[in-house]
Structure 1
Amino acid sequence: MNLHGIVAVSGKPGLWKALAQNKTGFILESLDAQKTKLVVNLSTAKLAALDEITIFGEDDDLKLTDIFETMKGAVTPPDAKADGKTLREYFRGIAPTHDEEKVYSSDIKKVISWYSILKDRPEFNEATASEEAPSAATEETAE
């Protein structure tokens, strides 16, 4: 899963892809059908890179990318607008070690809505450079 360059912007719905960087921020494009472009100034907006986001866990924090990988093989997630109890039950199944006191229903809604945006995108199913590197090293030693 290659989520490099995919960000969430505080105060803006949906997910965005970083196209370029300028002196004060980034030029982003929405991942929805409209492909809206947005210039974000880093002094006024907060960006969160999806490949760096973690979810509170009971012992260790859980990487969002690992949760998405689990969601790929799990049952279809409920609608992000479902009630909190339904969302929590689903999330217990895919991330059983998440900290239920620190992870709110609104956080679970975000994860599920982000997954629904990303699941059909080609980046979601391609390997990252770090995932490809070990297999290349294995091929070289096998020869």
Structure 2
Amino acid sequence: MSLEKILSISGKPGLYVLKVQTRTGFVAESLLDGKKITVSLKSNVSLLSEISIYTYESEKPLAEIMQNIAKRENNGQTISHKEDNATLLSYFREVLPEYDEERVYASDVKKIVSWYNTLQEKGLLVADAPAVAEEDTTPTTEEVVAEKAKAPAKKAKAKKE
């Protein structure tokens, strides 16, 4: 699940996908209606990949919480963000039991649930495929030495004066 190019722009509803950077800001496309907007560098913008939620021990990245929700919901939609605060907080406690109840507010949970449903609806919550280790084809020092030993020795030509 990659949230690298997904943005939340303060004062604008919904989520956006970063399309192009410009000299004065960037162009983003709304996930709600597909309209492209230009955003100046003065705007308060948050990358979802940089957002974390407070727990009692540390902070959990938003991507990890989204994976927990997806796992709980079998990659389907979750409850509505319009549920009452008690329902939202109870649901979030099931998803992330160790969240810090004093620093995570119902409004934060509403955003997370709303973002999850938006990303799920657009098919952007595909689980990351496990990284496959690529075979290193760079020869080792021993292989290089062995290859040079096999090659016929070149005789140096003497220069005539």
Larger RCO: 1 or 2 (CA < 8 Å, sep 6+):
1
Equivalent position of 1:64 in the other structure: 62
Within the alignment, does 1:51 sit opposite 2:74 as a pair?
A: no
**RMSD of the TM alignment (CA)?**
1.7
Deviation of 1:4 after TM superposition, in Å, equals: 1.6
Say which structure is richer in helix. Answer: 1
1:4-83 alignment to 2 at 5 Å? 4-32=4-32, 34-43=33-42, 45-75=43-73, 77-83=78-84
Deviation of 1:126 after TM superposition, in Å, equals: 4.8
> Unaligned stretches of 5+ in structure 1?
none
Q: What is the total number of aligned residue pairs between the two structures?
A: 133
Equivalent position of 1:113 in the other structure: 114
Deviation of 1:77 after TM superposition, in Å, equals: 2.8
Q: Secondary structure at the match of 1:28?
A: strand
Q: Distance in 2 between matches of 1:108 and 1:23?
A: 35
Equivalent position of 2:132 in the other structure: 136
Deviation of 1:58 after TM superposition, in Å, equals: 0.8
Contact kept, 8 Å, 1:77 with 1:90, in 2: the verdict is no
Larger Rg computed on CA atoms: 2
Deviation of 1:87 after TM superposition, in Å, equals: 0.2
Deviation of 1:122 after TM superposition, in Å, equals: 3.6
Deviation of 1:73 after TM superposition, in Å, equals: 1.4
> Unaligned stretches of 5+ in structure 2?
137-161
Contact kept, 8 Å, 1:27 with 1:38, in 2: the verdict is yes
User: What's the % identity of the aligned pairs?
Assistant: 37
Q: Distance in 1 between matches of 2:35 and 2:116?
A: 20
Q: Distance in 2 between matches of 1:91 and 1:113?
A: 13
The worse-fitting range, judged by mean Cα deviation, of 116-125 and 49-58 is 116-125
Q: Distance in 1 between matches of 2:98 and 2:127?
A: 27
Deviation of 1:123 after TM superposition, in Å, equals: 3.2
What TM-score, normalized by structure 1, do the two folds share? 0.86
What TM-score, normalized by structure 2, do the two folds share? 0.77
